[in-house]
Structure 1
Amino acid sequence: MLFAVLFEDNDKCAADTRSRYIQAHLDFLGRHASMIKAAGPLRQNEGSGAGGLWLVEADTPDAVDRLVRADPFWPTGLRRSVRVLIWKQVFADGARI
């Protein structure tokens, strides 16, 4: 099953938190590439971070939740919230699937 995982950043978190943990976060994404099919930041505009998005393949929402909580960013307070939504892809590369 595919899931869209939407993260909202905590704007009250210290500005250097992301930079301190980014390498551990990226290493985590690499170690879990079999589940995390795509990942990247979301922005309000060019300079303002808003959160992140993962596309995850997993059997259950609980498996996705465990993955999210194992991310080095999670315990830092960087994330204000997370939403895990089931996603069904119906269109890709200019065509219906």
Structure 2
Amino acid sequence: MDETRIPRAGRGYLIGAWLLALAIGAAAGLALGFLLQDLLPGVIIGVAVTVLVGVAIALGVRRSGSGTIEGAPPWTGDAGVRNNQSGSL
């Protein structure tokens, strides 16, 4: 039995994820820069946070969907019907 494939994250999603990571890193860098009143630690922490958040999102996307319905969260699609244990539908 062939299962319907879940589409993989496209380029647009990854660009959006990295832009979100950049925004989070910039906010963290600005906060630390203002807190310490020094530019260099803020820039270093901002870049580090951006890289960590971006890589975490990208790896999370790659792991979350194995490409089948079974890779989807249990509350979605056919898997949700099979895994529903809250009573009758």
Which is richer in strand?
1
Q: Which has the larger radius of gyration?
A: 2
TM-score (norm 2): 0.26
Which is richer in helix?
2
TM-score (norm 1): 0.24
